């Protein structure tokens, strides 16, 4: 397990030596809320609840209650990694809403065997310890109607990031997001600019002589304190709802185009400087009480075992129930490709407090 620690620190240090770090703060790309995850994260235009603090802060302005709270717990990789979300949003007046979002992604109780062998070369299990690898983010959100432009809503996030790898390494980060929604006839268009100013993580390392020696023996460079920059990401989306059967059944669809600017990625459209990944989601509702959802995303090109080029798609499905002030959403997502079928079960609970409809 000593080598596991070296690998973890090496990955962090590799990113942090570069001023612009590809895939930086990727734990913030996982997504929150079973509704969005069941729709393959196609959610920046249709989000209208407490999870908007993550997806698009402008969507907070669409919440119907004066106060809403939400909770989510998910486990990935057979329960090794745990992902949690807690959020709250409060309507300040008819034109503005504030919110707070807490996200934690962690792998706990990792064995630390760097001191398992004593000075005499004997294995001493009493020296075995453990540590946690944890990423935490707090998002402070504000949304507002632009009364001079009918149908326009804007929002912003200020986010504080704390990343920690036991006592070996840690980082503090800060960044800003900005989002907007615009209603045109029966359509809603949206844009979400994440890390719009670049998000800066300041890494510090506290490595023992034993760990440094392990780095040297394995040919890894000993990391030093540095700054990691997360480049901006732009997500644009469109959504529309249709109503059938005396308006008892609603059918909503959304498409998102996820644009990154940190070099070539394995996405459907890619260049050396820009990559674009589409995501598609659909939601069918009955009387605003029951919902069935599905989505397609993470479209990638790869090579199978025979060496032939293949395109893989990540399918997601989910259901939801909304009764009075309570909402329960469930999603089953495939975090690998279709062949690996590494399914995860995700639940989200939402509660409206002091419910007050806003026109």
Q: Tens digit of pLDDT per residue, the chain (359 long)?
A: 444 444 344 444 444 444 566 778 889 999 999 999 999 999 999 999 999 999 999 999 999 899 999 999 988 877 788 999 999 999 999 899 999 999 999 998 888 776 677 667 777 777 778 888 999 999 999 999 999 999 999 999 999 999 998 888 999 999 999 999 999 999 999 999 999 989 999 999 887 776 777 667 777 777 778 888 999 999 999 999 999 998 899 999 999 999 999 888 888 889 998 999 999 999 999 999 999 999 999 888 777 788 788 888 889 999 999 999 999 999 988 654 444 556 788 999 999 987 655 54
Q: Please, are residues 32 and 101 in contact by the beta-carbon 8 Å criterion?
A: yes
CA distance 297 to 313: 6
CA distance 47 to 63: 9
Give the residue from 10, 71, 54, 24 showing the smallest Cα distance to 260: 24
pLDDT computed for residue 34 by the predictor = 96
pLDDT computed for residue 342 by the predictor = 63
Q: Please, are residues 242 and 284 in contact by the beta-carbon 8 Å criterion?
A: no
- Reduce the secondary structure of 21-43 to three states and give it as a string: CCCCCHHHHCCCCHHHHHCCCCC
Where b means 16+ CB within 10 Å and e means fewer, 56-76 reads bbbbbbbbebbbbbbebebeb
DSSP state of 193: E
Query: Where do the structural domains in the chain lie, given as residue ranges?
Result: 2-355
pLDDT computed for residue 222 by the predictor = 75
CATH of domain 2-355: 2.40.160.40
Q: Please, are residues 203 and 169 in contact by the beta-carbon 8 Å criterion?
A: yes
296 has which bridge partners? 280, 315
Q: Please, are residues 201 and 161 in contact by the beta-carbon 8 Å criterion?
A: yes
């Amino acid at each position: 397990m000593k080598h596991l620690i070296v690998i973890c620190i090496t990955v962090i240090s590799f990113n942090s030596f570069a001023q612009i770090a590809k895939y930086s703060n990727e734990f913030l790309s996982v997504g929150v809320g079973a509704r969005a995850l069941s729709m393959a994260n196609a959610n920046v235009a249709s989000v209208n609840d407490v999870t908007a603090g993550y997806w698009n802060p402008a969507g907070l302005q669409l919440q119907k209650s004066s106060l809403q709270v939400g909770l989510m717990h998910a486990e990935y990789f057979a329960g090794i990694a745990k992902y949690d979300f807690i959020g709250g949003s409060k309507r300040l007046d008819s034109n503005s809403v504030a919110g707070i979002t807490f996200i934690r992604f962690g792998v706990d109780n990792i064995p630390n065997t760097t001191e398992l062998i004593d000075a005499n070369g004997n294995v001493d299990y009493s020296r075995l310890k453990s540590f946690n690898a944890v990423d935490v983010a707090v998002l402070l959100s504000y949304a507002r109607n632009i009364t001079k432009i009918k149908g326009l809503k804007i929002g912003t996030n200020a986010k504080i990031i704390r990343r920690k790898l036991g006592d070996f390494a840690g980082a503090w980060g800060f960044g800003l997001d900005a989002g907007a929604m615009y209603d045109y006839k029966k359509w809603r268009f949206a844009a979400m600019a994440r890390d719009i100013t670049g998000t800066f993580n300041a890494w510090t390392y506290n490595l023992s002589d034993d760990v440094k020696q392990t780095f040297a023996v394995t040919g890894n460079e000993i990391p030093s304190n540095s700054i990691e920059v997360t480049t901006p990401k732009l997500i644009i989306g469109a959504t529309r709802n249709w109503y059938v059967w005396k308006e008892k059944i609603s059918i909503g669809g959304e498409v998102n185009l996820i644009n990154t600017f940190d070099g070539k990625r394995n996405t459907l459209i890619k260049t050396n400087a820009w990559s674009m990944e589409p995501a598609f989601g659909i939601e069918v509702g009955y009387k605003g009480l029951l919902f069935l959802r599905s989505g397609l995303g993470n479209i990638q090109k790869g090579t199978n075992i025979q060496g032939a080029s293949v395109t893989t798609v990540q399918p997601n499905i989910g259901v939801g129930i909304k009764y009075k002030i309570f909402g329960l959403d469930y999603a089953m997502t495939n975090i690998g490709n279709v062949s690996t079928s590494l399914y995860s079960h995700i639940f989200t609970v939402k509660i409206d407090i002091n419910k007050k409809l806003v026109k």
